[in-house]
Amino acid sequence: MQCAPIPANESERLAALRALLILDTPPEQRFDRIIEFAREEFEVPIVLLSLVDSERQWFKSSFGLEARETPRDISFCGHAILLPAILVVPDALLDPRFADNPLVTGPPHIRFYAGAPLEVEPGLRIGTLCLISPEPRSFDETDGAILGVLRDIVVGELRGQHEDSA
């Protein structure tokens, strides 16, 4: 398993995440509706709105996963925040970054992952909107476009919340 490198702008990224005042807050219907739509649209059993903190990834909204957080060092989302493009892993068992990851070899037995990074300011990606399945699968351009639009809606909601609290 390869732990994701820490972004060069980690302190700024964490400051942007914490400025949103969203970590460890209760679930909200505005995010849950987006998660539910993504689950139905992509027909995957797990969809997460994951925020990558310094030591953990915390789920603001989730469907299909009981855990509210997992350690950052085993997170797929820690890899996804490194670049602005959607990270797609068609089969985690065939990807050297994840093949022996405990989230692959044990519950929830991740095989497919697609994570759209949540960029709240240029270069500051605080988490992902991600799709997970225990079955390998493909992900085409249309899928990427749809996930990208849903991600943009989430980012808009996050920015709106921050503006409302300022």
pLDDT digits (tens, 9 = 90+) for 118-146: 999 999 999 999 999 999 999 999 999 99
Residue 118: which of 110, 102, 131, 130 has the closest Cα? Answer: 130
The CATH number for 10-165, chosen from 3.40.605.10, 3.50.50.60, 3.30.450.40, 1.20.1090.10, is 3.30.450.40
* The predicted structure's pLDDT at residue 150: 98
Between CA 156 and CA 162 the distance in angstroms is 10
Give, to the nearest 10 degrees, the angle between helix 141-165 and helix 29-42.
180
- The set of residues, in sequence order, having a beta carbon less than 8 Å from that of 99 and lying 6+ positions away, is 1, 92, 93
Between CA 78 and CA 84 the distance in angstroms is 13
* The predicted structure's pLDDT at residue 9: 95
**How are the residues of the chain apportioned to helix, strand and coil, as percentages rounded to the nearest 5?**
40, 25, 35
* The predicted structure's pLDDT at residue 166: 43
Mean pLDDT, all residues of the chain: 94
Would you call the peptide bond into 134 cis, given omega within 30 degrees of 0 as the criterion?
no
Question: Average pLDDT for consecutive 10-residue bins of the chain (166 residues)?
Answer: 90 96 95 97 98 97 94 96 96 96 96 98 96 97 98 94 47
